[in-house]
Structures are given as structure tokens and as C-alpha cells.
Amino acid sequence: MTKFLDERMSVNADTFNSIATPIPVINTPTLFAQIGLLTAGSGSNPRVSLKGTITVELPRALFQVRITIVRGTAATDPLIYSANHTYGLDGLLVPEVIMFATTDYNPPIAPQLTYTAFISTNLLGTIRVGPENFDGFIVSD
């Protein structure tokens, strides 16, 4: 039988246009969310489910946004998820909502598993405007 172990969430901005945070350096991961999941009582086959949302306002050019999630706290830690989103000139007047979901099957068990979400872009002028959230839970057999 599946055993629920822990659930956490990170909410940086809960409504549209509630922040205006520029992504300061191109092609460099910028942390936007982090959660730690407690693993006490874990049995076999631990499974982590992660999902989130980030909204960006686009510069007036073709550009790409990359979302990455790692198990750990640094952008160089084990990669759990990555996706590129490319935007053209047709969506300039409306901020883009990026939603993502992933799993981490059978992660190495420690007292706490930390997951960190990063965003990067290939063009200066991209602004995080909200909403932004990241949540996850862990279960095992």
C-alpha cells in the first residue's frame, strides 16, 4: 500500500502581475523556487511528484526560456527536469504562463530531499511577473 510521507509548497507570487523581477543574466540559471521533502518512514520505491507555474513578460524579440529542476540546491546538482519554451513576436502583449510537472522515481533517501527550480533565458529584458509556485510530495511503498 502506498504511504504518504510529506508535501511542501513554495509560493513566491500568488497573483498575476504581483512581482516584477528581471532575470538578470542571460543563459544563467536563476533560482525561483525551492522545497524540502522529509522522508521519515520511507519504505521501498520512493516517488516524488513535482509541479509548478511561472509567468514571464516577454522582451520584444524572439527568445527562449529554460526551466530546470534539480535534486539539491545548486544548478549543477542532479537534473530531474528541463524544458525549453520558445516565444515569437506574436505573444508580446500577453505574459506567458509556463506550467511544468515531473517526477523523481526512486531518489536516494536522505532525511530530507531538496528540490530547486531555476529559470534562464537567452535574452535580457525577460521579467518574472507572477504567479509563481512550486510544490511536490513524496510517497513510498
For residue range 84-140, what is the model confidence (pLDDT) as tens digits?
988 776 556 678 899 999 999 999 999 999 999 999 999 888 899 999 999 999 999
For residue 23, which of 123, 102, 106 has the smallest C-alpha distance? 123
Nearest 5°: phi and psi at 90? Answer: -75, -15
For residue 54, which of 112, 121, 107 has the smallest C-alpha distance? 121
Comparing 88 with 52, which gets the higher pLDDT?
Answer: 52
* Contacts of 64 by beta carbon, 8 Å cutoff, 6+ apart: 84, 85, 86, 87, 121, 122, 123
* Burial class of residue 81 in the structure, from the number of CB atoms within 10 Å of its CB (0-12 exposed, 13-18 middle, 19+ buried): middle
Angstrom distance (rounded) from CA 15 to CA 23: 19
CA distances from 83 to 26, 79, 117 (A): 16, 11, 12
Say how many C-beta atoms besides its own lie within 10 A of residue 20's C-beta: 11
Contact 119, 63 (CB under 8 A): no
pLDDT of residue 90: 59
Q: What is the pLDDT of residues 14-39, one digit of tens each?
A: 999 999 999 999 999 999 999 999 99
Which residue bears the cell 511544468?
A: 100
* Contacts of 89 by beta carbon, 8 Å cutoff, 6+ apart: 60, 61, 62
Instruction: Tell whether the model's pLDDT for residue 1 goes beyond 60.
Output: yes
pLDDT of residue 55: 94
Say how many C-beta atoms besides its own lie within 10 A of residue 41's C-beta: 10
